[in-house]
Every structure is written in structure tokens, then in C-alpha cells.
Amino acid sequence: MCGIVGYTGNANAAEILVNGLKNLEYRGYDSAGIAVLNENKLNSYKSKGSLDMLEDKLANNGKIVAGTGIGHTRWATHGVPSDFNSHPHSDCNGKITIVHNGIIENYQVLKKELLTKGHKFDSSTDSEVVVHLLEDLYEGDMVQALIEVDKLIEGSYAIVAISEDEPETIYGLKKDSPLVAGIGREENYLASDIPALLSKTKDFYIFEDDEIAKVNREKIEFYGLNGKLLEKDVFEADWDADMVDKKGYDHFMLKEINEQPDVARRIMADRFTETDIDLGDIEEILAGDYKKIMITACGTAYHSGVIGRFLIEEFADIPVDVEVASELRYKKNFIDKNTLMVVVSQSGETADTLAALRLAKKQGAKVVALTNVIGSSVDREADSSFQLMAGPEISVASTKAYVAMVLVFYLLALKLGNLNNNISKARLKELIAGLKRLPYRIQETISEFDEISKEIAESIKDYKSVFFIGRNIDYALALEGALKLKEISYIHAEAHPAGELKHGSLALIEDGVPVFAITTRENVAMKTLSNIEEVMARGGQVNLITAKNIEYDKIEVDNKLILPEMDNIWSSVLAAIPLQLISYYTALELERNIDKPRNLAKSVTVE
Ligand code: F6R
């Protein structure tokens, strides 16, 4: 979603802002802008479209000399993508300007009052009320004005402001939307996300809600809502700037698919004894006595949770509910102190997931988070966190973080099963040996299915609809396969429990319609094979993704993708890979914007 960068120092602020924003392009945006303080005058440059278009605009304005500025990439919520709705937004006199991520929920009421007072608005955004409020409340002390603004606005916000009165200072305030301060040498930064600044610094202060930062070249000060100075710890990021490079791949998505063997290795390094798994800090919470487990997440992370449910129920014999986070707080949830809540979020900032986490804590549940971003809101607010260690995921379509989530659910399920004495030592030993082999099998799967994935992509690219079927854990994979395909190729894709097809959607199967069937589990594979027959009888094109030891010979399908041989338990990890590759190559055939699909954002910080 929207991205923010702020800078103050001796370098060329415009260049630093645009480069920082480029590092956040992956989050998705539809317009961009910067404001810089040039000889104590505020100048804004904004453009609908890409950062390249903003750069053209900047180039047309000659050399912009400025040491302080703020920049923003906007993902439209209130008001269409346009130059005038782009941030930064300035007050009536053009003396103060702000950028904002999030949503100001009470902006209509505030705007009405501000209009009555004579303020002039230039945009149809919710964000613009913030700068007019600052204009009203500023009496020479920006920290105080931001404290007052914080009391008036409702919703989620990361706000960065500059003013002509203090040409070398940038200010930040946040609630429910991430903001960090980057520590440099005689220069300092603000940004919505750490990757924006990784090429500049590894040292950060992470904002807590309702904290205000005053940032100038020499120092960064944090204030609470009572106006008192706060002590903050420095957070050292362990991601490298080159981790956000394409490293020769055409797209981040393909690079990230190929990183999956290493991700698996990192997750599993130093975790195993012969018959036990070390899950670090979260073990204390796992050892509690729970009546049930609830998993909550959104999108792809939710799909990993559906797999998690099957695994935990199978290995640990504990009932598990899995809920879409955006739905959880609008239903009766039965969460209490006897519930172990597992919250899954790659970014750790997904607004709905965060809201579900807070609700669970409020109702007394213990919360374990699985997240890829240390220091993210989910990471900090959970009782304990497990790091997915996938490294920065830049492609909007999640691949390596998804596989990391699935793997962590395996570890979690086996650990809980061991704690419950539900798995014999001998079986656990076998399973641990399987886990250790998994990175090699993931590598093999990527290499083996690259070519066939291209061929399948070519064969499905012109269809309007594609179906994915599977039963049990294979249905969870079908859900993810359909999401991956639709989000980057824009082909309509639906997943069904295989047995459900004949209760409606079979009506859509006709000559050539592509159907992906997944059969990795013996106990349901034969049933799914019958459903495949039903599809073939109607002329559907069947692509079967199957584990080696399933009796797939019984059926002649259009394409058979046979996963590398290993205990079928692990096939759910492996089966995800051809699904990712087929989606990637289909989107490539269709010349889609693979890493930044239309209308989508990497980190969904609004509800
Ligand atoms: C799709 C995808 C999304 C995310 C979802 C949750 O490929 O990545 O569906 O999984 O937006 O995001 P996180 O995991 O950051 O909470």
C-alpha cells in the first residue's frame, strides 16, 4: 500500500526520497509525490502513475537543491488516482505539508468543520484534513500540534510533516500504520518500511502508536502524548540491501520462488535433535493447556493456516478453527483464555490480522505470531513470535513467505504432537529426517517443473476461467493455486473441494476448460480421481499434480506432474511449487505486471 520516505541531511533530498520510494514500489501504488524545502520554501511535485513519471516531472523542473523533504507513493482509497489527490498535501498557505498512510475515518466531520473555518481543500482525500488541522493548531511547536491532531483524528495513520518554519526538521506520528526512523550520520530518515532505507542504514527506531518523532540532521527525539521525551531502543535490521535486488531474475516473484530451498534451510537450521524440535521462545506458550487452537490470517497467509489446521489436527489431535481475519471480529468467536491463537502475517502489518490479534488478546487468549518482519506490529503485539526468516518478499504475490508459513505449521504441528505424546518417537524421528531432506526436494521440484509449467501456461493463458480441485489438505493447496493464478494473470480462477464440483460449478466445465487437480494424500486421492473423471467426461483439460506414490496410472490426463518421491506428508509443500510456476509463466505469457499486479498492494494496512 502507500509508502512514505522522509529525509533531512546534506545530500540531495529529492534523489534520496525517490530512490527510497522505489524500494517501496512493490507495495503497490498509483501516484507519487515529493515535497522539498528549497531555500526555506516548500515545493511539491506530484504525478499520477509511476515514479518514472514523477522523475520526468522533476527533471523538467531543473536541478532541485534541497536537504530536507518528504515523499509518498499513494494507493488510492479516498479519491481517484490523480495529480491533485497525490501526496504531499499542503495547508492553505503552503507553509506546512504532510504525507499520510492509512485512513482518517472521521475525515468528513473534520473536513466540514475546517471548511466552515474557511480552509480551502485541493483534493478529495481523507489525508488532507491532517494538514489543515495542523495549520489550525500550530503555534510554533509542531510536536504539540501533532499531539493535538492525534487526539482529533480517528483511524489508522502514519503521518510525516515538514514546515517552512523549521527547514531542517521532519516530524512523524503514527497509529496502527507502520513508521520507522532511520539513523544516519549527520542525516536521518523516516519511512513507512525498513526496506526503503536499507541501502542507507541498518539502525532504526520503531514507532509505537501515538509516538511523535522530531527528526533533524543531528538527532532523533521521540515524544509521548504528554509531551515528554521518550527513551527508545535502537533496532538493528538483519536484512541486507542486496536482498531487495532482482539478482538477475526478470521478476522478484521468480527470484523468490527460487529462494525457497534456502528459506526452508534457514527455518530448519539448528532446530532438531533426533526426536525433538526446538521452536525457541514460542515453546513456553505452546506448552500451555488449551481447549482449542484458532488460526487467523488473510489471503495467502490464511491458506497456509488452512494447511496448518489439517496438520495440527492430524499430528497433535487438537481441534483447530481457522478464520479469515477480516471476518473474525464480526461473528461470535468463542475465544477465551483456553484458546491458543496463531496469527499469521508475512508483513506483520495487515490491518485485519492485527485487529484479530488485538481482539484475541482482549478476550484472554495467548497469541503466537508467525511473521516475516521483525519489529512489525504483529511481531511486537503478540505474546510471542516465530520468525518466518524468508527474507524481504518484494513480489506482491507471496511465494517464499507462504512456503515458510506452511513449513512452520509442520514444525508447530509436530511439536504440539510431541508435547501431547501423540506421535511415537520412532515416527517423529522419521518425520524429522524427512524435514531435513525437504530443501533438496524443493530444489528438485523447482528445476523439474520449470519447463512443463511454461507449456501448461501456454495452454491455459487464453481461457477465461480455470478451476482448482482437491480434498483435505489438497483443497487448501487448490485455494492457494487459484489465488496465485488470478492475482497475477487476471484469469478468473476458483478452487473447490473436489467433491463439491458436481454441486454447481461442473456446469461450467466444457471443452478445454483447464482444471488443476491436486492429489497428494492417499486417503482421498482415489475420490479425487473420480472427480477428475467427471471433469474429463465433459471435455475439461486436466492437469494433475500428484505425489509419487499415488496410483495416478489409473488415469489418463492432459498433464501429469509427479512430485519427487518422499513421504506424502511433505507433498503439500512440494505441490505449491508447480502452482507458483504455472501462475508466473501464465502471467508472463500475458505480459502482466507480475510483481505489482493491478489494484493490489503488498501490505494491506487498511481494513
Ligand atoms: C497473495 C498475498 C496476500 C497476502 C495477504 C496477507 O499472494 O500475498 O493474499 O497473503 O494480503 O498479507 P500478510 O501475510 O502480510 O498479512
Q: Quick: pLDDT tens for 159-200.
A: 999 999 999 999 999 998 899 999 999 999 999 999 899 999
CA–centroid distance, residue 519 to ligand 1 (Å): 25
Residue 1 confidence class, pLDDT cut points 50, 70, 90: low
Residue 425 known to be catalytic: no
Q: What is the largest CA-CA distance in the chain?
A: 80
Please compute the mean of the pLDDT values over residues 361-367 and round it to a whole number.
97
Asked whether 374 lines ligand 1 (CB < 6 A), one says no
Please say if the pLDDT value at position 314 is more than 70.
Answer: yes
For the whole prediction, is pTM greater than 0.85?
A: no
Asked whether 388 lines ligand 1 (CB < 6 A), one says no
Residue 298 known to be catalytic: no
CA–centroid distance, residue 369 to ligand 1 (Å): 15
Pick from 346, 354, 405, 599 the residue to mutate for probing ligand 1's pocket: most ligand atoms within 8 Å of its CB: 346
Question: To the nearest 10°, the Cα dihedral for 82, 88, 90, 95?
Answer: -150
- State the pLDDT at residue 118: 96
Cα 254 to Cα 450: distance, rounded to the nearest angstrom: 11
- State the pLDDT at residue 40: 85
Residue 393 confidence class, pLDDT cut points 50, 70, 90: very high
Asked whether 299 lines ligand 1 (CB < 6 A), one says yes
Q: Give residues with Cβ within 8 angstroms of 134, minimum separation 6.
A: 91, 96, 98, 142, 145, 146, 149, 161
CA–centroid distance, residue 305 to ligand 1 (Å): 12
Asked whether 193 lines ligand 1 (CB < 6 A), one says no
CA–centroid distance, residue 312 to ligand 1 (Å): 22
Asked whether 350 lines ligand 1 (CB < 6 A), one says yes
- State the pLDDT at residue 604: 79
Cα 260 to Cα 581: distance, rounded to the nearest angstrom: 12
- State the pLDDT at residue 607: 74
Asked whether 301 lines ligand 1 (CB < 6 A), one says yes
- State the pLDDT at residue 566: 86
Residue 599 confidence class, pLDDT cut points 50, 70, 90: confident
Asked whether 345 lines ligand 1 (CB < 6 A), one says yes
The grid coordinates listed for 121 are 481543500
CA–centroid distance, residue 480 to ligand 1 (Å): 11
pLDDT digit string, tens, across residues 491-512: 999 999 999 999 999 999 999 9
Nearest-atom index, ligand 1, CA of 371: 14
User: Considering the chain, what percentage of its residues have pLDDT values greater than 70?
Assistant: 100
- State the pLDDT at residue 246: 85
- State the pLDDT at residue 190: 98
- State the pLDDT at residue 358: 97
Cα 352 to Cα 88: distance, rounded to the nearest angstrom: 26
Higher pLDDT, 73 or 551: 73
pLDDT digit string, tens, across residues 126-148: 999 999 999 999 999 999 999 99
Residue of 2, 175, 214, 400 with catalytic role? 2
Cα 142 to Cα 162: distance, rounded to the nearest angstrom: 9
What average pLDDT does the chain have? Answer: 94
- State the pLDDT at residue 78: 80
